[in-house]
Structure 1
Amino acid sequence: MALDPKKIALCWPNYIDTSVVSGGQWVDTLPLEHVQDDRTSVVAKTASLDPAHTQFSITTDRRRPLYVLAILAHNLSAAATVRTRVYRDAGQTDLIYDSGWANVWPVVYGLDDVVWGNDNFWNRRLTEEDRTTYTPLMTQFFADRLLGSSVHVELLDTGNLEGAITLGRVMLADVWQPRYNLDYGVQDGYDSGTQITRAGDASRTGYARRVTPKRTVSFQLSNLNEDEAFLRVHRLQRTQDVVGEILYLYSPVPSAANFARTMIAQQTELNGITHPYLANYENAMSLLEIL
């Protein structure tokens, strides 16, 4: 079933930790297995930009429901492309989905961000200069919910100025959308984390210890049925707690505004599920971005 463009999407669990990763060619000290480390600073690095080196497979421990592949903390350039193929079997003989080649980076600029005469005026593609100012997060949704055992990922980035591709955390997951979308009143923001120390001089000069701010979102789901409340939200709280990864999308429709809100995050607290009246359950959720 195709995703509803008018609803949020919450993606979990991440099957990468119980899977086997293989293929490609990787630096000995930065092997492919590093994509299974939940610390995004621990990266895998390809031996070169040769397409034979910049590909890998994920084989799950058993057949799993699969809907999305995400790669966090990568160095893929603005021109990089990706292709994902999903197989029903671990031997990769029974192909059930082929994404074809697609851009790693979606459109990130609005109409007012580009100026007539710029090379990207018509396509609003990301410039290499601006790439480092955005969270390096690639998401690729499959055409439908698939029951698969293996995923093959090809990355093509022959113009990467670093001479190799680095990948942080990889996420292979299922997806859930509520029957009724979240309530109005969503709060999107940033948790800055920056600290300013004031000197004792007359002007109280400030000295900042600046860090990268993390995105936040808080929302209310007020129209859950019993199954959604206890077989989705309650299960999400049990399995993910406040440390497990959740891929959050305000809408799965590719757009600059939606990319600005797409993130891999953790719950900041586990709010109770309330039962305010017959056949209705509610839950408030707060998420903090993982960088």
Structure 2
Amino acid sequence: MTQKNVTIGFPLHNATLSGGDWSTARPLDRALSPVLSDPARSAGLATADTQFVATFDSTLPTGCVALCDHNLSLQAQVRVELLNSADGVLADSGWKDAWPEVYGAFSLAWGDPSFMSLRPDARELEQEIGTFVQLFDQNRLASKVRVSIDDTANPDGFVDLGFVAFATANELTVNPQYGATEGFEARSKRQTSAGGVDTYERRNKPRIFQGELIMPRTERRSLVDRMHRELDLDGVFIFVQEPSEALFKPLTQWAARLAELTPSQRAMPDHDRVPIRFKQVL
């Protein structure tokens, strides 16, 4: 992987999915819709059950593949292969952990379940929208993508895929300016009774990323303007905040929407100031 700056998976490619063995009630093609609460579900856990192939309408530049809101276990591994029309392999990710390390060395107290592995504890996965993203070192002109999943010991007894995405990888020329913010947008509701007692209704909360880009005008017009035009507020793309960072990947890469369409400003000759605000798809 050579990407160092923020990378955007856009545009997403139209695809048809085939292969594996999937529940009749939750077929594989459900994973093409970004309605994460309505996932595709495998009929079993054998690797043959959970492998599938995405076939594009045409040959397209592809460098980003994402599995969003999956239920893969801590032992799961994923392999992504970019294929040509004759099923020749153009690029192979090899087997990668579905849940890589998310803690720095010695950042946890001795005895913590994650102290040795630095990977999330199984209990943490219940509160996380798991997103696995494979970025290749460059875009390849691919006709198909083969995704293999090895999670034969998943305690759920099946693999769920909320949304799968295949896209062109666009690394920004320059990262967002210092002062960019990341966090969550609170959605839970609080109500205070006449007696002053607070009651709460817990709701899912999306991650947000907000900042400002100073970018060449040609890049702004060819990427950001196109995103505004084609995505509006409902379209989906893949956001990878720190491609070269080994830690925290499950926390810094997700399916996203534009939270607003903010106009750009002239910053200096041939460069524009571009405010951005991305919101995670739930």
TM-score by length of 2: 0.94
Tell me how far apart the structure 2 counterparts of residues 152 and 259 of structure 1 sit (CA, whole Å). Answer: 22
Alignment deviations for residues 185-217 of structure 1 (CA, whole Å, 9 cap, x no partner): 10112111111111111xx00111111221111
| In structure 1, C-alpha distance between the alignment counterparts of 2:206 and 2:234, rounded to whole Å | 15
CA distance in 2, matches of 1:244, 1:149: 23
Matches within 5 A, 1:23-172: 23-89=19-85, 91-92=86-87, 94-116=88-110, 120-172=114-166
Cα distance in structure 1, aligned partners of 2:275 and 2:62: 26
Identity %: 25
Partner of 2:2: 3
Match in the other structure for 1:213: 205
Distance 1:26 1:221 in 2: 42
Across the aligned residues of Structure 1 and Structure 2, the Cα RMSD in angstroms comes to 1.7
Offset of residue 98 of structure 1: 1.4
Displacement, 1:80? 0.2
**Compared CA separation, residues 40 and 119, structure 1 to 2 (3 A):** closer
8 A contact 1:182–1:219 mirrored in 2: yes
Q: Please point out which of 170, 175, 181 is paired with 2:169.
A: 175
- Partner of 2:47, secondary structure, is coil
Match of 1:256 in 2: 247
Quick check: 2:106–2:115 contact (8 Å CA) kept in 1?
no
Query: Is the Cα–Cα contact under 8 Å of residues 242 and 266 in structure 1 kept in the other structure?
Result: yes
Letter in 2 for 1:105: W
Secondary structure at the residue paired with 1:148? strand
1:145 offset after TM fit, Å? 1.4
Report the more deviating stretch, 172-181 or 114-123.
114-123
TM (normalized to structure 1)? 0.91
Call closer, same or farther: CA 1:119–1:208 in 2, change over 3 Å: closer
Mapped to 2, the partners of 1:260 and 1:36 lie a distance apart of 22
Structure 1 gaps, min length 5: none
Structure 1 pair 120/275, CA: closer, same or farther in 2 (3 Å)? closer
What's the counterpart of residue 232 of structure 2? 241
- The number of residues matched between the two structures is 282
After TM superposition, the structure 1 stretch with the greater mean CA deviation from structure 2, 211-220 or 254-263, is: 254-263
